[in-house]
Structure 1
């Protein structure tokens, strides 16, 4: 029997700590590590992160674009990283933000959520702004594969508000509507559902939104973007137990020293655990 993503995520965060480390090999970060902005640098960066953190961090979020920019050889590095991280017990959230309709959405889902795909991941970030119903192929395949989704709902970029906080005819914002759809997907699931939302940790008071979707809340913005673990209870309220805080540069800037990467990830996990009472 395949355990659901929500079940596996809850177990991983309880065991390893509530932390998601982003893997974002952009040119400036490679340079700060003393690496070249090419396949050799990409490989060295990626597999140093895997070596340092794969057996201790609960969740990893590789940003697909930073691998895709190198073409097929970059995607091959991503495939190997996903396999190695999952083999070491880490959960992989592929940050690809896919969104389309019909057969195209189904093809995106098959690339990341079909069990025999080279890029099969534990969860995938998706964009619902062709309508939540456009995500159905991904929702269905995620359920079948025991995987999950993280739907863009309340993102921290300033431009996001013009869509996500726009008000529908029924008086509800688009972001709130996405949260409501996810609550329906997760109804009755224990310990939590597998269909989560992306909600920025830098957004401040979100008490006007019902974040209790019985599912995970992927929260970028900890570290370099200005949010701290101590901010999480005020932002997420009663839903803080299901927050998956993402730290990217805050951890990665300590590379390529493996011990320093581990120490930074451990420190963030401890601070988050203390802040959310986990």
Structure 2
């Protein structure tokens, strides 16, 4: 239903509703939609290294794209325009919604759109308008926000961080690209990454250095929790992050705000379920 409203440009009520949500919930909503847009240019011929999980996720999103396309007006200049228009209007609602739009990866999506539509005047105009809105709505933000945002997109700042060639190259990838890369590559590179994380977690001066490195570390661990053999070890490192606290835990909290709802649910379930099991076992032993 949501995709139909967006595609047909009948999303006024949806816009009013979403604009009232807390910023974190708007981010979740948009983060679920953003990966759908690149699928407008999806090519099955190039999709040769996917896992069953990725195939299922892509199939579900392609079904949403099909619904979106079926609802487009005959007069629509390009199929991506209704989506850009909706998100741009949401960014104009208030400061919190504008920040949510930026933090959900909208700029990355616009870059992807430009890669495919640089010669489509209507799309280029819509992208320019959207970027203009985002630049305008940032003028009243607190200055303290700037270091945090720059730390997440700037190259690594700590040359002593023990990163191999693979991890060094991945520092320039967006979170979505990073997630897809881990899900489609061999266990060997994941083991190498977990070895790097083990060194970082055991060295206090590395843990407290560059926020970008810590963001990548927390993000990777959350992805690895869904990768079978690496779930238990990855979860143990995440629990260590919570126990260590400070900036490291705050970075994990920030990563979680950018994750889809089901990832958050799975994360807290993995933490709470063992505790509830222990509590039940303790009660049984006492009653016995």
TM category, shorter: 0.3 to 0.5
Query: What TM-score results when the alignment is normalised by the length of structure 1?
Result: 0.41
| Structure having the larger proportion of residues in helix | 2
Structure whose alpha-carbon radius of gyration is higher:
2
Query: What TM-score results when the alignment is normalised by the length of structure 2?
Result: 0.40
